[in-house]
Amino acid sequence: MPRAAPKRSLPLNAQTILLVVGVFLLSSILWAQATRIVLPWQEQPLRVWMLNVGQGDAFFIEFPTGEQMLIDGGRDDALLAKLGSLLLPWDRTIDSILMTHPDADHVTGFISLLDRYHIDHIYETGAIATTPQGRMIVERVENEAAIVSLLSAGDVIEIGEVVLSVVWPQETYEGTEVGDRNNTSLVFLLTYGDTSILFTGDAEEEAEQGFMGDVGNMDVLKVGHHGSLSSTSWDLLEILRPEIALVSAGEDNPYGHPHPIIMSRLEQWKTAVFRTDFQGDILLTSYGGEPKVQSSPLPF
Ligand SMILES: [Zn+2]
C-alpha cells in the first residue's frame, strides 16, 4: 500500500505573515466601513471634510457619485497624512483638485500629492506666484497627465447632482504673475438639492464686492482668508446669512486668525462656527436637505 504523503504545512514564519496581512486587510476594510464606505444599496451622501492641516486650507469632497475632489492642499505634507486616513491604502487616484489661488498655504501640499497620486483633472485660475512653492506647483501641474481647466465667473462643474458654480474671479489669469493673490481666489457655490456652500479661498472684501450680486442665502460659508479682518464683510453676511461657518486656521497661529471681530460678526448673525484650530477635522454630510456638521477627528 502506498504510504500517504505527509500533510504539508506552511512554515511558521509564512503563517505569521499571512495572519498579519489578513488582520491588516480586515482592519482596513472595517475602518473604511466604519468611516466612509456605504454599502452598495445605500444612498451615498455628499461629504465635505475640512481637514485640520494647520494654518492653511484643505477640503476633501466625496460626491454621491463616489468621485473625489480636493479644494486646496494646505501648507505642507499634513494633507498626505489625512489622505492616509481617508483613502484605502491601495487608492492612489483622486479625480480632481482645485487650487483657489497659488499661495503657499493653499498649494504646498499639492506638490507632494502630485508626486504620489494620479489626478485626472486640475482646476485653477492660471495665476502664478513667483515663490519657490509657486514655481514648483507650476512644474508639477505641467508634468501631470491631467486635464487642466482654467475657471472664472460663469463656469459650472456638474458632478452627478452636485453643481459647482464659479462666481469669482471675472477672468482667468493664464500664466500671469500676480502680486496680490488673495483677490484672485476662485470663489464658487456648491449646491446639492437644498444644501448650499460658498467656498471663498482667501477672497477679501474687494472680491466680495465683486461677487456679492451673484450669491444669496447660504447654508454654509467657508469663511474667507482664515477669518482675517480683511474678509467676511458685514455686507456679505447680510446677503448670505449663513447658518454654519467653517474656519480653517492653525492653532495659535501668528496672524491672529480668525479675528475676534469676524467671530463676533458671525455670532450676531447667529451662525454656528466650526474651527479647525479648536475642533480639528470637521465633517459636513448632506443627503440634499439640511446639512449635518460635526467635529470628526481623523487618526492622523
Ligand atoms: Zn490662505
Indicate which CATH number applies to the domain containing 66.
3.60.15.10
CA of 207 to the centre of ligand 1 (A): 15
191: in domain: yes
175: in domain: yes
The whole-number pLDDT of residue 20 equals 83
Distance CA 117, CA 70 (A): 12
Q: How far apart are the first and last CA of the chain?
A: 62
CA of 62 to the centre of ligand 1 (A): 23
Q: What is the DSSP letter of 11?
A: -
CA of 225 to the centre of ligand 1 (A): 5
> Could you report the per-residue pLDDT of 73-86, keeping only the tens digit for each?
999 999 999 999 99
| Per-residue confidence in pLDDT tens, the chain, 300 aa | 555 555 666 677 888 888 888 887 776 655 655 555 556 667 899 999 999 999 999 999 999 999 999 999 999 999 999 999 999 999 999 999 999 999 999 999 999 999 999 999 999 999 999 999 999 999 999 999 999 999 999 999 999 999 999 999 999 999 999 989 999 999 999 999 999 999 999 999 999 999 999 999 999 999 999 999 999 999 999 999 999 999 999 999 999 999 999 999 999 999 999 999 999 999 999 999 999 999 999 988
Compute, in degrees rounded to 10, the torsion defined by CA atoms 265, 183, 126, 214: 60
247: in domain: yes
Task: List the shell of residues around ion ligand 1, using CB closer than 5 Å.
Answer: 105, 202
Number of domains in the chain: 1
For residue 183, the enclosing domain spans: 44-295
Alpha carbon 197 to its chain's center: 13
199: in domain: yes
116: in domain: yes
231: in domain: yes
210: in domain: yes
Query: What sign for the dihedral angle of Cα 252, 199, 93, 64?
Result: positive
127: in domain: yes
Comparing CA positions, the residue from 257, 254, 251 lying closest to residue 231 is 257
> Could you report the per-residue pLDDT of 179-222, keeping only the tens digit for each?
899 999 999 999 999 999 999 999 999 999 999 999 999 999 99
Q: Which three cell numbers stand for residue 176?
A: 500671469
Distance CA 97, CA 114 (A): 10
CA of 173 to the centre of ligand 1 (A): 18
CA of 52 to the centre of ligand 1 (A): 13
